[in-house]
A and B are shown apart, each in its own frame.
Chain A
Amino acid sequence: MKSLQELRDMRKRLEKDMTARDDKDLAKVIIGMGTCGIAAGARDILQAVSDEINKRDLNVKIVQTGCIGMCEEEPIFDIVKPGDERITYGNLTPDIARQIIVEHLINNRIDKEHVIARHNN
């Protein structure tokens, strides 16, 4: 391990500003991590999404799903905000994924160009 002391210091620091996380009210990014998704580059999408979320300090939960039967559109993710419809974006690249995160989660605009499905809750 890199440095035990550093890890312990981090724990102390994080424990101070940890507020109880209630996942129910969080926006979610749901990444397709089936075989088709992974083969199409889902790992790079996951990395880009979590980097963007951390960089902008967004309160968003990243979760995964398996193959949803739209393999030819992979990599895919869904974005769902509490109380809002669920939007599926497809044919992602890391750059497009970052752009969608900003547009959808910060600017509140659906990035129509990359939407492949919408579901009403």
Chain B
Amino acid sequence: MKDLSLHILDLAENSFLAGADKLILRIKEDIPKNQLILIMADNGQGMEETELASVTDPFYTGRNKKVGLGIPLIKYNAELAGGFLEIFSWSGIGTYLTAVFEYDHIDRPPLGDIPESILSLITLNSDQDIYFYHWFNGDNYEFKTRDYREELGSIPLDHHEVLEFIAEDLKTNFKKLRGEF
């Protein structure tokens, strides 16, 4: 994977494939502490302990396919960048994944286009709810599909005009938070 936004897209697809209708994505960029933390939590079907133990093994797949190479790849990238990957999962409840990276590590993948990944997820999973929390050096940005759903009533989120509206919102705020304006 070229960057973290693609890892996020990939892992989120796992969540929705596991039947989640709620996904929490938390990105914490703490430059003074030299840390980048990525947290993803879902309410999918979760995993049994034995299955959980094998998901970081690249030769494992839960064919009828729940997990493949996605988790080993991000684990490898986190460890390469002085960090680690941790997964907790409860069968029937959901899965909680944390990836930690050294912020200024030369091998840390760039963040990438996070808004574009979230948009892709909404396009393909418009009935599911995504909660995105982005923390950057003490400032916050929150994005919830639920807020849009409440305002839009019967209009689906994957309507292209809605997607364009959300895209502009996400992109503007992403840049604003990270001081790119």
Contacts and interface: CB of A to CB of B under 8 A. Distances in A.
B165 A50 contact: no
Contacts of B98: none
B53 interface: no
B68 interface: yes
B154 A18 contact: yes
B68 A7 contact: no
A2 B160 contact: no
B31 interface: no
Contact of B155 (A11, A38, A47): A11
A54 interface: yes
B76 interface: no
Contacts, number: 81
Number of chain A interface residues as a range: 20 to 34
A46 to B, nearest CB: 5
Given A11-B155, A50-B160, A39 B1 contact: yes
B73 A43 contact: no
Given A35-B73, A50-B163, A7 B148 contact: yes
Interface stretch (B32-40, B89-97, B117-125): B117-125
B154 A43 contact: no
29 contacts: A1-B147, A1-B169, A7-B151, A7-B152, A7-B165, A10-B152, A10-B165, A14-B162, A15-B153, A18-B154, A31-B124, A33-B13, A35-B10, A35-B68, A35-B69, A35-B70, A38-B9, A39-B1, A39-B73, A43-B9, A46-B123, A47-B116, A54-B160, A62-B158, A64-B124, A66-B13, A66-B17, A67-B65, A67-B68
